[in-house]
Amino acid sequence: MEYFVHPNAKVHPSVKIGPFAVIEDNVVIGEDCVIDAHAVICSGVRMGKRNHVFPGAVIGAIPQDLKFAGEDTTVEIGDDNSLRECVTIHRGTASKGKTVIGNHNLIMAYCHVAHDCVLHDNIIMSNATQVAGEVEIDSCAVIGGGSLIHQFSHIGSYVMIQGGTKVNKDVPPCVIAAHDPISFCGINSVGLRRRGFDNEQIARIQECYKHIFMSNMNTSQAIAHIEENMPQSAERDLIVDFIKSSPRGIIKGI
């Protein structure tokens, strides 16, 4: 059983390659990666260290965007990622030029990440999640299986999204989001504790969202109230800065 590596690909000697895998031209793969059987690493992929690409995954195929005209774009993958069976990740378009996957992410079987997306670090994306173009997912988010994420959406850090959810608005940090239409379902307190947040930090996050989602104020009024009445903290600023920079608007409240 053989595999194919293009002679111009830059593959570190420590990389393990399974039978019938294909590594195309214009690819860079760092040390101690594993490319399993039947995986395809397409032109334009830049991969760091200790990544594991499981059988049948296709990384770096051209985007499913009718505006794509063959421009020179990339998929840039950091270190220590696990890309499970049949995952597909498409390279960028002229819009941003690259699709980015950070470090220590678990992308489970049959997930799709479209062109020009940015996934930060320590994300868990459960089976069959479909991510449309130019989505950004911040660090430590957990996406339940079968979720559908609309193009241009932004998902904040430390978020938990219930499986099967349709995400068509921005999801601010540290919350649980679910239902149809998607809505705020509380604070992701379990996930926050697992990531080292203490009681005081979680209380500050709860106080912010009490004003945003459980008051008679609209979002702009709630943000102004938080900035005027709550002391500055990393948690307050994380939430306020996310919402103020959201062109799509955030999910609705309870």
- pLDDT, tens digit, 9 for 90 and up, residues 152-166: 999 999 999 999 999
Pairing of strands 130-131, 148-149: parallel
pTM of the model: 0.97
Mean pLDDT over the full length of the chain? 97
Q: Active-site residue 115, yes or no?
A: yes
Q: Active-site residue 191, yes or no?
A: no
Instruction: Give, in order, the Cα–Cα distances in Å from 5 to each of 29, 78, 182, 230.
Output: 11, 21, 44, 57
Which residue out of 115, 120, 154, 211 is catalytically annotated?
115
Mean pLDDT value across residues 106-121? 98
Mean pLDDT value across residues 100-123? 98
Mean pLDDT value across residues 205-213? 97
> What's the pLDDT at 51?
99
Which residue out of 30, 48, 133, 144 is catalytically annotated?
133
> What's the pLDDT at 254?
72
Which residue out of 60, 65, 102, 116 is catalytically annotated?
116
Q: Active-site residue 116, yes or no?
A: yes
Mean pLDDT value across residues 10-39? 98
Q: 55, exposed or middle or buried, with CB in 10 Å at 0-12, 13-18, 19+? A: middle
> Do the beta carbons of residue 165 and residue 182 sit within 8 Å?
yes
Residue 242: DSSP 8-state: H
